[in-house]
Amino acid sequence: MPIILNEHHSSGFSLNWTVDKVLYQQKSDFQQVAIVELQEMGRALVLDNIIQVTVKDEFVYNEMITHVPLFTHPAPEKVLIIGGGDGGAAREAAKHESVKQVDMCEIDEKVIEACREYLPETSVSYDHPKVNVITKDGVQFIKDNPNTYDVIIIDSSDPIGPAVELFGKDFYHNVYNALKEDGIFVCQSESLFLHQNLIKKVYDTISKLYPITKVYTATTPTYPGFLWGYTMGSKKYDPYDRMDAEKQDLQTKYYNHDIFKACFALPNFIKEVLESNK
Ligand code: SPD
């Protein structure tokens, strides 16, 4: 009998994945951490029964959460990733010539342990000379480092369990303070189809803090609802002013300059959600 990973969401949406092998399974202080071999999508990091990354499609999410804010900033040097323990976003950030330091602050050392052993595709970044792996609570780390970063990436799991605080107003306020005066923030903000209330709440909160707020999208097959949202707040730089700026050519599988231009185009049903006064 094959093992079935049933990923059930509060929206009532479920995804079933056939698991060929369980490679790692441990209960940490924060969550159930597992690495499994999925029949269709290859190795995957699974937290509390929810897929975080798979080797087959992680590049879409990791490239989009990283390169869009980093190419909106003209010369980012210091980058902070909150969460992102698989290392994929850090791998992408380290590719930028201007970036000198990538701090990756992951709360759960078991995530680091599991990914180091079983997900070399993403955890390769742990040993990159630009990358510092910090195992601390990101909520406190942000408070302790005001006015420090050019770009802050919130690479969180869903807003349940250890990630709940990473979607709160106080946290967003502290992120704003941890950025330099021309800094840029981005967070993953869930499915455009299934989590519209959350997208709206995040957008409204970020718009009150930052003069420039944008939502952008990419399709990620292993995330429920597939069309995934990212919300960016910028103190100074507008991605629309950076569309034709000369940018470093990176080795990527999904991201390119045309994607940068296109990803801010939103379908009407999401524009309506963002513009509504509810
Ligand atoms: N439903 C799962 C969404 C997960 C988004 N973040 C993944 C973080 C991996 N670094």
Ligand 1: does its nearest atom lie under 6 Å from the Cβ of 220? no
What angle is formed at CA 77 by the lines to CA 73 and CA 78, rounded to 5 degrees?
A: 105
Q: What span, in angstroms and rounded, lies between the C-alpha atoms of 56 and 51?
A: 12
Alpha helices in the chain (DSSP H): 58-72, 88-93, 109-118, 120-123, 138-144, 169-178, 196-209, 257-262, 268-275
Of ligand 1's listed atoms, the one at least distance from the Cα of 45 is: 9
Q: What is the pLDDT of residues 193-248, one digit of tens each?
A: 999 999 999 999 999 999 999 999 999 999 998 899 999 999 999 999 999 999 99
Q: How confident is the prediction for the chain on average, in pLDDT?
A: 96
| Cβ–Cβ < 8 Å for 274, 217 | no
- For 202, left (φ over 0), alpha (ψ -120 to 50), or beta? alpha
Domains and CATH numbers, the chain: 3-52 (2.30.140.10), 58-275 (3.40.50.150)
- For 213, left (φ over 0), alpha (ψ -120 to 50), or beta? beta
**Mean pLDDT of all residues in 257-273:** 97
Assigned token pair, 132 = 């510092």
Whether residue 48 lies in the annotated active site: no
Q: What is the pLDDT of residues 180-199, one digit of tens each?
A: 999 999 999 999 999 999 99
Nearest residue (CA) to ligand 1, atom 7:
52
What angle is formed at CA 185 by the lines to CA 154 and CA 255, rounded to 5 degrees?
A: 80
pLDDT over 80 (residue 1): no
**Mean pLDDT of all residues in 73-88:** 98
pLDDT at 2: 80
Ligand 1: does its nearest atom lie under 6 Å from the Cβ of 188? yes
